[in-house]
Amino acid sequence: MGRLAQTNGLTEIQRDILATVRDFVDKEIIPVATELEHRDEYPTAIVEGMRQLGLFGLTIPEEYGGLGESLLTYALVVEEIARGWMSVSGIVNTHFIVAHMINAHGTQEQKDYFLPKMAAGEIRGAFSMSEPGLGSDVSAISTKGVRDGDCYVLNGQKMWLTNGGTSTLVAVLCKTDEGGSTPYKNMTTFLIEKTAGFGPNPSVPGLTVPGKIEKMGYKGVDTTELVLQDVRVPADRVLGGVPGRGFYQMMDGVEVGRVNVAARGCGVARRAFELGVSYAQQRSTFGKKIAEHQAIQFKLAEMATKVEAAHQMMVMAARKKDGGERNDLEAGMAKYLASEYCKEVVEDAFRIHGGYGFSKEYEIERLYREAPMLLIGEGTAEIQKMIIGRRLLEEYRIAE
């Protein structure tokens, strides 16, 4: 392992976890990732290996059967997994977000019921906020939840669910018109248990997962729609037990999710650098290895600097959240920087490979198709810059 993307101040337990995950990635993910990705095949054996390692319960408190680790540990684990295959990190990410939301905002009954099963990997989580016409304007959601006795009746269509088919628990944001005077106080998060699979759901009448959305990259993991037609959800499956808090619960989940996306960008960028620096020492032109050409050395220097900068920004954002501080500024910066740098590092590694980078026989071809998803996931660059700009104006507002 090279000197890039090292993290100071880790405990012995954290170092042991990362060493175990790194070994798993090198032996179980990297050798099969490209083949599975080209077939768009769900990595069942890899997911089972992660379950056995306890990764689905990495941040769930020990009292619920998890490992009780920090957001930083989780982010560093995600970085390692994404270095092997970004799609695999997506499988644990939405699960992690839902577990975080339940632990932070759920009722005691919800924690007692869901978290032990999630820690064991028996329940797999997915998270559903977006809709077909929604974009980044969360206040414009149209999926509706209407109270009917001791249940809510849900109707609408959701979009871009990672793990939408394979999950057995979905946290769904709906409009309920019960919370307050603004759109953001009239949203509620519902916890819907379902059977894994596609089509009409046998355990939830009215709920349908139509099928996988075909994508340019980020294959293997299923990305889906979710259709709700008169779906009845018990009132005790409102996250936290009180309607009208859904927007703030979801934003808390997205905040930690942005650290995760930053970590994924760091992992993909590091793998692209590894591939580029290795290929540059094997390929010869004009009588010498291309790594000896100044133009390639400059490219490698820029790539390595970006890998290091993104990693340290991601670590800072995770540590801020772990310290109990508000980290929306740092999480936005980390997500923005890591995703943009990832795209640039992958493209430079692609250029170093020359024509071979365009061949599906080379791993960089897969990374080149995967990196763009990070520019969009958990909020576009433009959304991150809006968040960053507003927070900076709060911090540096001049007295009038």
259/261 Cα distance (integer angstroms): 5
Per the DSSP assignment, residues forming a β-bridge with 152 are 147, 233
Q: Please say whether the beta carbons of 346 and 83 come within 8 A.
A: no
Active site residue 302: no
Cα distance between residue 147 and residue 318, in whole Å: 38
Find out whether 267 and 80 touch, Cβ atoms under 8 Å: yes
Establish how many alpha carbons lie within 13 A of residue 227's alpha carbon, considering only the half-sphere containing its beta carbon: 10
Catalytic residue among 378, 394, 395, 400: 378
Whether the CB-CB separation of 163 and 125 falls below 8 Å is answered with yes
Are the C-beta atoms of residues 98 and 60 closer than 8 Å to each other? no
Phi, psi (5° rounding) for residue 182? -110, 155
Among residues 76, 74, 72, 80, which one has the least CA distance to residue 95? 74
Which secondary structure element, helix H or strand E, spans residue 152, and what is its range?
Answer: strand 151-162
| Token pair in block for residue 141 | 């959601």
What is the per-residue burial (b if ≥16 Cβ within 10 Å, else e) of 214-248? eeebbbbbbbbbbbbeebebeeebbbbeebbbbbb
Report the interhelical angle of 108-119 vs 86-105 (nearest 10°).
Answer: 160
3-state SS string for 212-260: ECCCCCCCCCCEEEEEEEEEEEEHHHEHHHCCCCHHHHHHHHHHHHHHH
Q: Name the residue with tokens 């779906």.
A: 231
- Determine the 3-state secondary structure of 161 from DSSP: strand
> Rounded distance, CA 376 to CA 383, Å?
10
Residue given tokens 């306890």 in the structure block: 54
**Residues marked as catalytic:** 378
